[in-house]
Amino acid sequence: MTWWAAAASGVVDPGEWRRGDAPGCRIDRDVRAHKRGKRGRMSSKKTNTVPSSSDTKPVDSSPARGLRLVYLSLARLPTEKAHGFQISKTCEALGELGVDVEVRHPWRRQGQGVRHRSVFDYYDVRETFRVKTLPNPDLTRWWVAFPAGGMLYRFLWTLFAVLGCRRGDGKVFFTRDVAFAYWLTLLGFPTALELHTIPKRFQRRLLQAIASRKSLRHVFPLTEQMQQRLVDDFGADPDHVTVLPDAVDLEVFGEDEARDACREKCGLPRDRKIVGYVGRFQTMGEEKGIPELLRTVSAVSRSHPDVLYLLVGGPMDVVAAYRKILEDCGVDEDRVKFVDRVPNNEVPAWIRSCDVVTIPWPFTEFSAYFTSPMKLFEYMAAGVPIVASRLPSLEEILEGGKTVEWSEPGDVDSLAGALNTVLSDSGYGRRLAKQARQAVETHTWEGRAQRIVDALK
């Protein structure tokens, strides 16, 4: 048996090869750390980890016991992008419920800030699941020059990974990648698909085929808009489609730290009003409303001369273009502070440093219908008033005048007016923040995991 075939079949765990034993393979520190019993930084708070098959413990009658979930992902893990954190938090919560979870993903080259770090360390999540890195020659650099070739390669690599899968009692194969779901359902593996967009062209045809297969156990779209399209356009069985928005870890946001203390931690001035945005500046090359937000600085400054705009999340290579917008608007650079990605456990302090936080998205098909931003739930949990674009996807979670002050998507004047409304009326801002904090109680990772278990059992 070749090395690739052995690794794919599970006979050889690529994480157990020593460095240099095979090309395209690295030591899988995630698996090895799990085997050593190493615990993450927060392990003292919760300790019920996934039992091994050799454990002899009393049988738990909860629905999650006996469920084995293999999470197949095309993602580079860990990654500074939000999807890696979302995958890890979902698996952590499933593991906490007693589901036996293993994540499988391709080996990929890593940058300086991520190299040699496990998902448990990088995202500060508990080791309630296992991570297995599959061999992959990583042709990512070629995908930019040859997009069609990259798509074909990824499609064939998912087949390679699926051929290494084995059926088992109580085992379900979970993915958020349509290509994985296509091969899994074609080969008859019980499959659950978490859908983050309604794909177009080639992948749309794959989804059409997937929706009619009996081996598709369940689909979990992020939004109600997506659920409706799955039923209407793809003929999905409504009884096997469950809307599953993203979520937040309330434990991380449990301690209501004072704004001044948070600003001291983050090195921010105490005597200025701060308008914040915490999250990636762009997604899949598309702007997320940062240009519109920056164009409000002049208007908001007239009413609030001390205002500071705080943008946290990167990437920093786009900041030069944003500074050009400020220059064109005649805004001093000291009005805006750009900060690269910060560790997940520091996010609450950065959000709570703000007087108001924003989701200033323009209207696109993706932002209006297909997204459930984790930053939204983090904002709600942090207890800071929110100004957001009135989009159908956000209206599923927020209520104008109660948990959010709406602005019209892409309308700079509307956004500036909404910011001035909240900054000028602290009582109104506190009411928005309090009611949003109460509303987010139903959007936890634990609750999300429980809905997955209930659907699959």
Hey, where are the domains in the chain? 3-247+446-456, 259-442
Full DSSP string of 417-450: HHHHHHHH-HHHHHHHHHHHHHHGGG-BHHHHHH
d(CA 136, CA 184): 19
The three-state secondary structure class of 45 is coil
Give me the pLDDT at residue 55, please. 36
**Cβ neighbours of residue 285 closer than 8 Å, sequence gap 6 or more:** none
Q: H helices of 222-296, where? A: 224-234, 259-266, 290-294
C-beta neighbour count of 252 within 10 angstroms: 16
Q: Which residues pair with 407 in a beta bridge?
A: 389
Q: What is the pLDDT of residues 126-182, one digit of tens each?
A: 999 999 999 999 887 776 677 788 888 899 999 999 999 999 888 999 999 999 999
Q: Output the pLDDT for position 457.
A: 84
Q: Are 93 and 46 in contact (CB under 8 A)?
A: no
pLDDT of residue 144: 66
The dihedral sign for the CA sequence 442, 257, 372, 292: positive
State whether CATH 3.40.50.2000 applies to domain 3-247+446-456.
yes
Which CA distances in Å does 363 have to 136, 244, 321?
37, 22, 21
Q: By CB neighbour count within 10 A (0-12 exposed, 13-18 middle, 19+ buried), where does 456 fall?
A: buried
On the question of a cis peptide bond just before residue 315, with omega within 30 degrees of 0, the verdict is yes
Contact 35, 49 (CB under 8 A): no
| Two domains, one topology: 3-247+446-456 and 259-442 | yes
pTM of the model: 0.85
Each residue's pLDDT tens digit in the chain (457 positions)? 333 333 444 433 333 332 333 333 333 434 334 333 433 333 333 333 333 333 333 334 466 778 999 999 999 999 989 999 999 999 999 999 999 999 999 999 998 888 889 999 999 999 999 999 999 998 877 766 777 888 888 999 999 999 999 998 889 999 999 999 999 999 999 999 999 999 999 999 999 999 999 999 999 999 999 999 999 999 999 999 999 999 999 999 987 889 999 999 999 999 999 999 999 999 878 899 999 999 999 999 999 999 999 999 999 999 999 999 999 999 999 999 999 999 999 999 999 999 999 999 999 999 999 999 999 999 999 999 999 999 999 999 999 999 999 999 999 999 999 999 999 999 999 999 999 999 999 999 999 999 999 999 8
Name which CATH class applies to 259-442. Answer: alpha beta
pLDDT at 148: 80
Predicted confidence at residue 62, as pLDDT, reads 65
Residues 6+ apart with CB under 8 A from 174: 69, 70, 71, 72, 191, 192, 193, 194, 452
Q: Strand 386-389's sheet: what is its strand order?
A: 336-339, 308-312, 274-278, 356-359, 386-389, 405-407
